[in-house]
């Protein structure tokens, strides 16, 4: 009986490891520019890359117009798994916008390879982001939010490269990318 149980456990471990390995290899496949477009914005009437008015909506409305994964990160301050985001190893030239409202956040010229598992930038659009103290999970950090809609984007740390010395560690799902024309 014990032998059967350990075989089931071993088989389960093997299947889990294989699923994890295949999911990781899929993440590292090249992405086309077409895949970078955030199609969920077609159903978000508050998404605009030109409107600078502050968006004040209750989370009940955000929950209806955002995909569940984006809602969890942007409205509940979740974090995507490291090394899984579509912009982690992405280096095309262009601009990054808030996936919830379309507000401009970063230029690709400020992106750098930090090897932390999330897209990292050394400088943000000062009109695009704001900051809030975050003491969740037993850590003392600085949360980065979209200045237009208050979406959670990630955190900023004082271990970045020159010229700023800071690292904006962002969730890919909170970002949209527009390639340089």
Q: Which residue out of 98, 101, 149, 169 is catalytically annotated?
A: 169
Encoding tokens for residue 104?
A: 């401009």
The verdict on whether 24 is a catalytic residue reads: no
Cα gap 171→78, rounded to integer Å: 9
Helices (H), the chain: 2-27, 33-36, 59-65, 68-76
Helix (H, G, I), strand (E, B) or coil at 150: coil
Contacts of 47 (CB under 8 A, 6+ apart): 41, 100, 101, 102
Angstrom distances, CA of residue 172 to CA of 4, 56, 73, 124: 43, 23, 10, 15
Helices and strands (H, E) in the chain, number of each type = 4, 9
b/e map 135-145, b = 16+ CB within 10 Å: eeeeeebebbb
Residues known to be catalytic? 169
């Amino acid at each position: 009986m014990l032998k059967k149980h350990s075989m089931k456990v071993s088989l389960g471990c093997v299947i889990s490891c294989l699923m994890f390995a295949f999911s990781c290899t899929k993440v590292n496949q090249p992405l086309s520019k077409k895949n970078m477009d955030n199609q969920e914005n077609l159903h978000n009437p508050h998404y605009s890359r030109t409107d600078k008015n502050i968006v004040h909506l209750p989370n009940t409305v955000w929950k209806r117009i955002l995909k569940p994964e984006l809602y969890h990160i942007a409205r509940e301050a979740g974090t995507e798994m490291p090394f899984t985001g579509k912009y982690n190893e992405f280096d095309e030239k262009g601009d990054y916008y808030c996936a919830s409202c379309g507000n401009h956040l970063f230029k690709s010229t400020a992106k750098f390879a930090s090897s932390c598992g999330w897209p990292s930038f050394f400088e943000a659009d000062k009109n695009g982001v704001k900051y809030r103290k975050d003491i969740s999970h037993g850590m003392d950090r600085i949360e980065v939010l979209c200045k237009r809609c208050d979406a959670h984007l990630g955190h900023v740390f004082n271990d970045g490269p020159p010229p700023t010395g800071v690292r904006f560690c962002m969730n890919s799902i909170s970002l949209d990318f527009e390639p340089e024309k």
